[in-house]
């Protein structure tokens, strides 16, 4: 026979706001291995406080507690949790079974904190047989009577073959018949070698014990050992204390993580509506991230396509300084280009694909009694394809019409609207600066470029414009198509050099300028970038809102599940176990919300592109991003509730476990 527990002058004071309650005021007691002890006393005398300290759920403020000679006060929190798992078993007045699990899962629950491999179903059924419930293994706690639930709780307390059983009013919620049943089981366990420490305030229950300790106002007032009830010497479970303590448990060891995932799924499913609502937030967030990013990408691609059609490898050579564009009108300050310049530039074969002369001026157009002032463009043959101005209605000029200075015109849609209204302009005769022209086509609509209406234009052959209408013998500019966008800079300097040579200009003469489309390109891409960013941030905001929803739910569930947390701690869960459990739950919710969100987002993009004809482009990056983001959301917003759950010291969870104590 050996000393198992020893308390030396133990004090415990609770702080409730400003006032203090002295629950234990100097308790010294020794309990031998194999004893069956009943702790009695009136309500509030400190019985539960004492049992909490003995069961390693609380630590004394003052005084020592030696367990097999080891001072508990100096043990780390996780070590104490390990001892609760391997050395102690707990039975509570309210049973504290987890309602969402069947009784086999309830009984084997302590094993997920034991770090021992295996499913322990067989062992759980064995313990259930021990308490006479082998025929009920598929039942859930709700389907059992109070007495049966307490028997399940005893089976759970036995699953780790503990050395000591702690029971706080184990029959407090049961009728006489069921109480007797429970006590018979405890008595038998004692006879088989378990040390039992039980709190009760009923004399009939205490009568089963071999030793009765009576408390009053936080001190022991009597301690009686019944004669003829010596402690049993045998120890159940085989292992001695040191062997049990030696066991170290790692968080990732032996499929524990798998167990947490399984439990998280159970917890999520246990509250279907609530989980669904919190998942909904993430779902909407992720779906909009995917759809919006697809839209943004699609818009970008569409714009790039459009830019290509506008001619991203076009150069425009104009007379006048680039710095004072349009203002450099002084004679001699502006280079005057000729058709020879055009053919010389076109002869730069490796760099230049096409070159055409352009002349600009103003035109007064008259049709019937209507007249309209517009800009007049004299265009060479290749201008139509280079500027995407070949009419879809009507036709472009022929080479011959350009050579013979034909009086034919292509009108922009604004001009059509102003002069012709709804009637067909094709074949009609208009006057341009008092000269008769035949309309042969309508230029494709281009919309506005900045403040300028690109459709308020009349295009006529460049020769006709120069010699018949505007009276100029030089070109306003030359339009050049470079063979590839990569060669733009090279082409620019080659053309610049050529013009300087031909016009005998010095290097610092600023009488002409060459412009390319990179400006427009940059502007467009920055616009689409801004748009993507905007869409993305809207979606990100909805994800954050979804995350806050998850946090909300998790906080509620932490508060609601203090009993569950308290119970888990009592059966050996460490801080990290609780934290991981809640994190897995929140990440599980965000990931599943994210997953269906991705599917829905892709679906929405497809529907948009199909019905609205919008360009969409779902990128792998957005899918990966959304998945990662939803997981991070789960961790980030789950962390605080999980920490809160883990912070529950058993001491504060214990009142929750005894919410309606007597």
DSSP 3-state of 557? helix
Contact between 41 and ligand ADP (CB under 6 A)?
yes
Q: Which one of residues 33, 45, 48, 557 is an interface residue with Mg ion (CB under 5 A)?
A: 48
Residue 104 CB, nearest distance to ligand ADP (Å)? Answer: 32
Measured torsion, CA atoms of residues 90, 91, 92, 98, in degrees rounded to the nearest 10? 90
Distances (CA, A) of 585 to 26, 108, 564, 573: 43, 21, 15, 16
Q: Which one of residues 1, 21, 207, 659 is an interface residue with ligand ADP (CB under 6 A)?
A: 21
Residue 14 CB, nearest distance to ligand ADP (Å)? Answer: 3
Query: How many chain residues are in contact with ligand ADP, going by CB under 6 A?
Result: 13
Q: Considering only CA atoms, which of 260, 323, 15 is closest in space to residue 113?
A: 260
Apex 306 CA angle, 425 and 414, nearest 5 = 25
Structure tokens of 442? Answer: 């309508």
- Return the one option of ligand ADP, Mg ion, none that residue 603 interacts with (CB less than 5 to 8 A, by type): none
Judged by CB under 6 A, the stretch of 47-55, 151-159, 565-573, 580-588 that binds ligand ADP is 47-55
User: Which residues, listed in sequence order, are joined to residue 164 by a DSSP beta bridge?
Assistant: 88, 195
Contact between 278 and Mg ion (CB under 5 A)?
no
| Residue 568 vs 661, nearer CB to Mg ion | 661
Judged by CB under 6 A, the stretch of 45-53, 153-161, 427-435, 506-514 that binds ligand ADP is 45-53
Contact between 52 and Mg ion (CB under 5 A)?
no
Q: Which one of residues 33, 37, 47, 638 is an interface residue with ligand ADP (CB under 6 A)?
A: 47
> What is d(CA 84, CA 73) in angstroms, rounded to the nearest whole number?
15
DSSP 3-state of 356? strand
Contact between 46 and ligand ADP (CB under 6 A)?
yes
DSSP 3-state of 476? coil
Q: Which one of residues 16, 273, 331, 486 is an interface residue with ligand ADP (CB under 6 A)?
A: 16
User: Which residues, listed in sequence order, are joined to residue 370 by a DSSP beta bridge?
Assistant: 367
Helix (H) and strand (E) counts for the chain? Answer: 21, 22
Judged by CB under 6 A, the stretch of 36-44, 342-350, 368-376, 518-526 that binds ligand ADP is 36-44
> What is d(CA 394, CA 619) in angstroms, rounded to the nearest whole number?
41
Judged by CB under 5 A, the stretch of 22-30, 45-53, 54-62, 267-275 that binds Mg ion is 45-53
What is the DSSP-derived secondary structure letter of residue 475? B
User: Which residues, listed in sequence order, are joined to residue 90 by a DSSP beta bridge?
Assistant: 166
| Residue 16 vs 486, nearer CB to ligand ADP | 16
Contact between 655 and ligand ADP (CB under 6 A)?
yes
| Residue 49 vs 633, nearer CB to ligand ADP | 49
> What is d(CA 571, CA 563) in angstroms, rounded to the nearest whole number?
12
Q: Which one of residues 5, 27, 48, 568 is an interface residue with ligand ADP (CB under 6 A)?
A: 48
Q: Considering only CA atoms, which of 81, 93, 94 is closest in space to residue 55?
A: 81
User: Which residues, listed in sequence order, are joined to residue 19 by a DSSP beta bridge?
Assistant: 16
Nearest residue (beta carbon) to Mg ion: 48
Q: Which one of residues 34, 35, 49, 185 is an interface residue with ligand ADP (CB under 6 A)?
A: 49
SS3 of 494-529: the string is HHHHHHHHHCCCCCCCCCEEEEECHHHHHHHHHHHH
Q: Which one of residues 6, 8, 29, 44 is an interface residue with ligand ADP (CB under 6 A)?
A: 44
- Return the one option of Mg ion, ligand ADP, none that residue 569 interacts with (CB less than 5 to 8 A, by type): none
Query: How many chain residues are in contact with Mg ion, going by CB under 5 A?
Result: 2
Contact between 23 and ligand ADP (CB under 6 A)?
yes
Asked if residues 492 and 315 have their Cβ atoms less than 8 Å apart, the reply is: yes
Q: Which one of residues 14, 262, 614, 640 is an interface residue with ligand ADP (CB under 6 A)?
A: 14
| Residue 52 vs 114, nearer CB to ligand ADP | 52
Asked if residues 193 and 181 have their Cβ atoms less than 8 Å apart, the reply is: no
- Return the one option of ligand ADP, Mg ion, none that residue 227 interacts with (CB less than 5 to 8 A, by type): none
Residue numbers at the binding site for Mg ion (CB under 5 A): 48, 661
Binding interface with ligand ADP (CB under 6 A): 14, 16, 21, 23, 41, 43-49, 655
């Amino acid at each position: 026979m050996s000393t198992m527990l020893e308390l030396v002058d133990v004090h415990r004071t609770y702080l409730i706001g400003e006032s203090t309650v002295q629950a234990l005021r100097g308790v010294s007691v020794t309990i031998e291995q194999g004893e069956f002890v009943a702790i009695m006393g009136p309500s509030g005398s400190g019985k539960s406080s004492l049992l909490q300290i003995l069961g390693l759920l609380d630590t004394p403020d003052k005084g020592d507690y030696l367990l097999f000679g080891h001072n508990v006060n100096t043990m780390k929190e996780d070590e104490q949790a390990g001892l609760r798992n391997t050395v102690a078993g707990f039975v509570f007045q309210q049973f504290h079974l987890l309602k969402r699990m069947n009784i086999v899962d309830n009984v084997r629950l302590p094993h997920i904190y034991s770090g021992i491999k295996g499913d322990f179903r067989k062992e759980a059924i064995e313990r259930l047989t021990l308490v006479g419930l082998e025929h009920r293994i598929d039942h859930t706690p709700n389907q059992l009577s109070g007495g049966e639930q307490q028997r399940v709780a005893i089976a759970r307390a036995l699953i780790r073959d503990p050395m000591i059983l702690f029971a706080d009013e184990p029959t407090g919620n049961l009728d006489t018949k069921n109480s007797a049943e429970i006590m018979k089981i405890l008595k038998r366990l004692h006879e088989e070698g378990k040390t039992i420490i039980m709190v009760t305030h009923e004399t009939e229950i205490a009568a089963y014990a071999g030793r009765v300790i009576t408390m009053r106002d936080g001190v022991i007032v009597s301690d009686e050992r019944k004669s003829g009830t010596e402690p049993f010497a045998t120890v159940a479970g085989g292992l001695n204390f040191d062997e049990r303590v030696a066991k170290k448990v790692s968080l990732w060891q032996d499929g524990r993580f798998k167990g947490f995932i399984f439990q998280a799924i159970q917890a999520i499913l246990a509250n279907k509506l609530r989980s669904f609502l919190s998942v909904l937030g993430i779902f909407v967030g992720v779906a909009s991230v995917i759809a919006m990013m697809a839209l943004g990408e699609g818009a970008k691609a569409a714009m790039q396509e459009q830019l290509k059609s506008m001619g991203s490898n076009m150069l425009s050579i104009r007379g006048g300084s680039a710095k004072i564009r349009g203002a450099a009108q002084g004679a001699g300050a502006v280079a005057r280009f000729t058709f020879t310049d055009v053919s010389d530039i076109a002869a730069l074969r490796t760099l230049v694909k096409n070159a055409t002369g352009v002349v600009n001026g103003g035109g007064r157009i008259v049709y019937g009694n209507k007249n309209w002032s517009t800009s007049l463009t004299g265009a060479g043959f290749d201008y139509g394809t280079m500027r995407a101005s070949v009419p879809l209605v009507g036709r472009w000029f022929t080479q011959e019409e350009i050579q013979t200075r034909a009086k034919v015109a292509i009108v922009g849609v604004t001009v059509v609207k102003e002069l012709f209204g709804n009637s067909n302009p094709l074949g009609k005769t208009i006057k341009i600066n008092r000269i008769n022209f035949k309309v042969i086509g309508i230029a494709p609509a281009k919309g506005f470029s900045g403040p300028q209406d690109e459709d308020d234009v009349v295009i006529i052959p460049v020769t006709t414009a120069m010699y018949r209408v505007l009276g100029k013998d030089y070109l306003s500019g030359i339009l050049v198509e470079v063979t590839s966008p990569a060669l733009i800079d090279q082409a620019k300097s080659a053309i610049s050099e050529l013009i300087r040579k031909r016009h005998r200009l010095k290097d610092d003469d600023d009488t002409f300028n060459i412009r390319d489309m990179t400006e427009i390109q940059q502007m467009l891409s920055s616009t689409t970038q801004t748009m993507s960013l905007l869409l993305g941030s809207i979606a990100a905001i909805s994800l954050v809102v979804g995350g806050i929803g998850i946090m909300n739910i998790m906080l509620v569930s932490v508060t609601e599940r203090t009993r569950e947390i308290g119970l888990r701690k009592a059966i050996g869960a460490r801080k990290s176990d609780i934290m991981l459990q809640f994190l897995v739950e929140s990440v599980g919710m965000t990931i599943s919300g994210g997953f269906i969100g991705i599917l829905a987002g892709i679906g929405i993009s497809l529907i948009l592109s199909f019905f609205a004809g919008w360009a969409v482009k779902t990128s792998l990056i957005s899918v990966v991003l959304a998945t990662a983001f939803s997981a991070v959301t789960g961790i980030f917003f789950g962390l605080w509730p999980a920490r809160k759950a883990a912070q529950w010291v058993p001491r504060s969870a214990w009142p929750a476990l005894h919410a309606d104590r007597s």
